[in-house]
């Protein structure tokens, strides 16, 4: 019986984590940008002969940016909840969290330049896409779909952060009654 309770608790924890990830993807344009860039970087990394260590560094830098963006989102959400009107300290906390994402992204760009700046591989990538009209069409289609995903997200499930904060406040007020 106790084991079942522990398993349910673990499953609930994972469920909460996936809900948080989903919230970020659905509601945060910058998260979608990071995910799209990560997907393209991982695709184009296949053209390189990266070592395991280089892939570890690459994956670490991608994870660092995504984690920083999620922490930034959490800080922004908590700040909006605790300070609904404009407050200079609230703005400062949001700016600092955004700066953390910027530093992580710049760090990842530097890693990308170190790992991927190779003109011979650039020509191989160019040849790959110019040798077949299907490859060019797939690249163009992926770019179009990526732009739509970044701009619109998942249209049917998207909610504004303000409406979510409003729902949270309403549920807190009902609990307080």
Instruction: Give catalytic residue positions.
Output: 69
pLDDT digits (tens, 9 = 90+) for 129-163: 999 999 999 999 999 999 999 998 876 555 565 56
Contact 32, 163 (CB under 8 A): no
pLDDT of residue 14: 92
DSSP states along 43-101: HHHTTS---HHHHHHHHHHHHHHHHHHHHHHHHHHHHHHH--S--HHHHHHHHHHHHHH
Assigned token pair, 44: 């184009």
Q: Please state the pTM of the whole predicted model.
A: 0.84
Domains and CATH numbers, the chain: 2-176 (1.10.287.3610)
Average pLDDT over residues 113-140: 94
23-82: per-residue pLDDT in tens? 899 889 999 999 999 999 999 999 999 999 999 999 999 999 999 999 999 999 999 888
Q: Which two tokens stand for residue 143?
A: 């770019």
Q: What's the pLDDT at 5?
A: 85
Residue 118 has pLDDT above 70, yes or no: yes
Long-range contacts of 167-175 (CB under 8 A, 24+ apart): 168/81, 169/81
Q: Which residues of 23-49 are buried (b: 16+ CB within 10 A; e: fewer)?
A: bbbbbbebbbbbbbbbeebeeebeebe
- The predicted pLDDT at position 85 comes to 84
């Amino acid at each position: 019986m106790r084991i079942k309770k522990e398993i349910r608790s673990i499953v609930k924890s994972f469920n909460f984590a996936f809900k948080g990830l989903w919230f970020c993807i659905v509601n945060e344009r910058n998260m979608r940008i990071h995910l799209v860039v990560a997907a393209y970087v991982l695709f184009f990394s296949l053209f390189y002969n990266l070592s395991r260590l280089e892939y570890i560094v690459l994956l670490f830098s991608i994870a660092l940016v995504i984690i920083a963006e999620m922490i930034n989102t959490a800080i922004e959400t908590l700040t909006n909840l605790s300070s609904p009107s404009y407050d200079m300290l609230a703005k400062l906390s949001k700016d600092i969290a955004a700066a953390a994402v910027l530093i992580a992204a710049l760090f990842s760009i530097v890693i990308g330049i170190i790992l991927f700046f190779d003109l011979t591989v650039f020509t191989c990538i160019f040849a790959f896409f110019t040798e077949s009209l299907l490859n060019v069409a797939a690249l163009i289609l992926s770019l179009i779909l990526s732009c739509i995903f970044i701009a619109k997200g998942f249209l049917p499930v998207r909610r504004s952060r303000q409406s979510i904060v409003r729902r949270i406040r309403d549920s807190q007020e009902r609990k307080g009654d």
